Structure formats: C-alpha cells, structure tokens
Structure 1
C-alpha cells in the first residue's frame, strides 16, 4: 500500500519560461517558431541529454549550453550561428530573468494529495537554490521531507539518496511512490531500492520511444487518478 509520495523538482513541480525566452531570442534574429514547436524541441532535447549524457543538465549550464542549443536548433530545423543565438538569448535573459515557477495547480495538487492521507517528500538533484525555489513557490510547506543532492552529497540515480529519504520519512520502499520526469535518474534510481515510480512525459511517448516502461503520466495532476482517487477538484473563483 502506498503511503508516501516523493517528487522530483525541475519539470515535475516547477518549470521556467524558457520557451518564451527562446522564441524572443529567435525573433531578434528574424526567425519565427511557434511556442508549441519550441516546447516540443526542448522536450526532445531534454530527453536526448537525459539518455545520452546523464547528469549533464544538472551541472553549470556554461559547460553544455552551446552543445544543447545546437541540439535544440536541430530539433527546430534551424541552422544558425550558435554564438549569435547565445548572445540573443543572454540579452533576453538580462531583460527578463528566468525563474523557476510552480506549474499551474502544483500547490493545489500537493494539498489535494495530502488531504487524501498521503505524506509528501522531495528527492532532487539541485544546487543550494532548491529551498529558495520551493519557498518562493509555497511548495516547501506542503512537503514533509526534503532531500537535496547538494545538501546530502549524493545524486540520483545513486540508490543512497533514495535510502536517505526513506530513512528520514520512516517509510519502506514498497510503501513509496516516486514521481519524476527523467527515466534514467528517477525510474532507474528509485527502482534500485524497490520503490514504485511514475514517469512524467507531457507528450506521451515522444522523446522516450526507446523505453517500454509504464506507467507514464502527463503531469502531477494525474497522480491522484493513478492511485485510484478523484482528480483535483475545480478551483472556485469569484
């Protein structure tokens, strides 16, 4: 029986406005792509890096950004000078800094899951900014335990970070469900110690065609239904 739900952070609970920023950078270079096209290109690029270059996306972006932008442009069917694209992107970032923001409904979803009797935790590969991101979005107050790689000295998919979380939560692996968007960090890592896992992939099988893993959900709003409960109640406004 599942008693404890553990979440990844980036692109599970929070996201940036990177698609909008990249669209503006391209427009400054006289190129147009729709927001949906850019979102799908980012999705494909993320999944490629997760599969082929594990751990890279969590490092200093200066180490991989030109490489990533080349992949992004390939997925957008563009052939542009990388340095010019990067400069346009830097200009946009100075005018409108990108911040990690909670997905719409993320906080309400966590509250709903808590109301159903589940305890909630976080297991994330993140730097020292993780707690600020959580607090700014009001997510920290919905979590019973928070385990961050930069604080504990071990990263997913190493099983020790999952073991630490279970010890802190006082729960067994078989009573836990992990929810994250990176198969190679989240699913492979949590399964090493016997945890159940839900893989988030907003576009069905897109970008993860090489995997036969199931279950896959579109986002955390689907967690309650997966567990056999009603979904998030409609928000009453006005």
Structure 2
C-alpha cells in the first residue's frame, strides 16, 4: 500500500522445517491503521455498540422486510479502509486483493456456510475496472454466483450516494438464469459476501431474492462495516 519494502523475521520453526512461508502483502505500519472489529456488537448488522440488542437500523429492517439478517464484518470502515477501497476498487489496483484475503476468508469459514454468494457488479464496472472486488478478495473460496445485476442498475456508485438515496434505490439484482446454480441454494445455509456494509440496502436486496430459492438460512459477511 505504501511502497515500503517488507522485511520478514523468520522464526526457528520456519527456517528448519520444510514448510511454505506465508508472504505478507502489507507492512506492519499500514496494518496498524486498520481497526479490527470485536467486542459487543449488534446481533443484526454487527455494528459496535454497548449491547447485542438490535440497533435502531436493524429494528427498522425487521419492521420493513420481516426479518433481520445476521451480518459480521472484519473491519471498521475508517479512514484507512476508505483509502484502501479507493485504491483497490476505484483505481483498480488488483494486487491489493491479497491484503485481507486470509482474515476475510477465515471470517467467512467461521460462519460455516454451505454456499457462498458474492454480490455481483454490473457490465459497465467490469469493462472499466476489469474485476469484481468481492470475488478478488475471496479467490480461494468456492463461490456460487446466483445473482446478476439488472441492466442499467447500479450505474451510480453507492459510495457517491447519501443514506436517503441508498435506501430509495431500486432492486439492482436478479437471480441467475442458470437453473443449476440457483438449485444449489435450496435448503442450504447461504452466506452473502460483500465488501462494505453501510445501510444494509444491498445485502437485503440480495437476501430477498435468495429467499425465493428456499434456503435453510441466510446471513452475510462483509470486509468492512
């Protein structure tokens, strides 16, 4: 991220035993700028708070859609994460996909999902950026791409919208036209993965579609909250 050369101090076990040395893609100083989420959090969206009770936003979601999705995130969306997303997503630096892969995939695996469904990107983004930022970070996992974007949707970046604009946005997704893919959701523990949970609008739109496929349960994991 900062261009500093990373120096690795090997321990005796790594030097003596025939094992693969894990490469670091971020220096200690940059790593310390990211705030890992822990402690007491909302039982719905995963927001840090004083109790596990549903926060005000999740109570609104429960009233609006009839359920609350259980979301867990690895990091707080602070200034460092904002700059990371800017460089990774909007500048299109694909090398940065590996910075959080290990931690993010561990959090995903901890949820014990049967199927993992990534949030898709539209054709325009594919043409300009060349990759899906979510599947880039989760490249070591088997993903079920059960969702597609609707033509003409999500043209305005979510990051450019205020809360009211996000909440009033139209359904941007549709189920995949591949019946064999959508069949894999039925009676399974489905996990939606995305990069950032802001208002929850994107996650709930995705969840509403997946619910029509009769999964056993639906939850979500995002890199940042």
Is this a same-fold pair by TM over 0.5?
no
TM-score by length of 1: 0.33
TM-score by length of 2: 0.34
Which of the pair has the greater relative contact order for Cα pairs under 8 Å at 6+ separation? 1
* Larger fraction in helix: 1
